[in-house]
């Protein structure tokens, strides 16, 4: 998801891609260590990328409901870190439904709408 982001601003693209790679690296590190802190940090880094992509896609589709997905992911992360299973489950389900709706809308969109104005990209 982070490897092919169509974001005009290279600084924001760098933050999202770096958080995704950091999350992947921390996940692999958590397999060889038994620390829960590393696991929580890896989830946090991956959620930063997911929240950023969700917020970016809210502009592409003009879907106001998708703009709340980053907030839902923050509350989900809180529930995971502080062991609140009911909060975690509720916010995970709601966020997953919103993400599925966004994916459905994205699959129906022609590719040339997704890329936007290529002259505005910062390389």
Give per-residue pLDDT as tens, 45-87.
999 999 998 888 887 777 788 899 999 999 999 999 999 999 9
**Within 10 A of 87 (CB to CB), how many other CB atoms are there?**
15
Please tell me which residue, 107 or 95, carries the higher pLDDT value: 95
pLDDT for position 42: 95
Average pLDDT, the chain: 86
The interaxial angle of helices 10-32 and 36-61, nearest 10 deg, is 150
Asked if residue 2 has pLDDT above 80, the reply is no
CA dihedral 103, 16, 4, 95 (to 10 degrees): -10
């Amino acid at each position: 998801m982070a490897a092919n982001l169509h974001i005009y601003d290279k600084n924001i693209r760098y933050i999202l891609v770096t958080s995704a790679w950091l999350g992947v690296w921390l996940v692999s590190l958590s397999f060889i260590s038994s620390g829960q802190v590393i696991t929580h940090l890896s989830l946090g880094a991956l959620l930063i990328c997911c929240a950023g992509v969700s917020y970016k896609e809210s502009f592409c589709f003009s879907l106001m409901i998708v703009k709340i997905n980053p907030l839902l992911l923050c509350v989900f992360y809180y529930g995971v870190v502080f062991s609140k299973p009911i909060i975690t489950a509720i916010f995970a389900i709601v966020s997953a439904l919103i993400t599925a709706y966004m994916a459905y809308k994205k699959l129906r969109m022609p590719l040339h709408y997704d890329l936007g104005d290529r002259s505005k990209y910062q390389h």
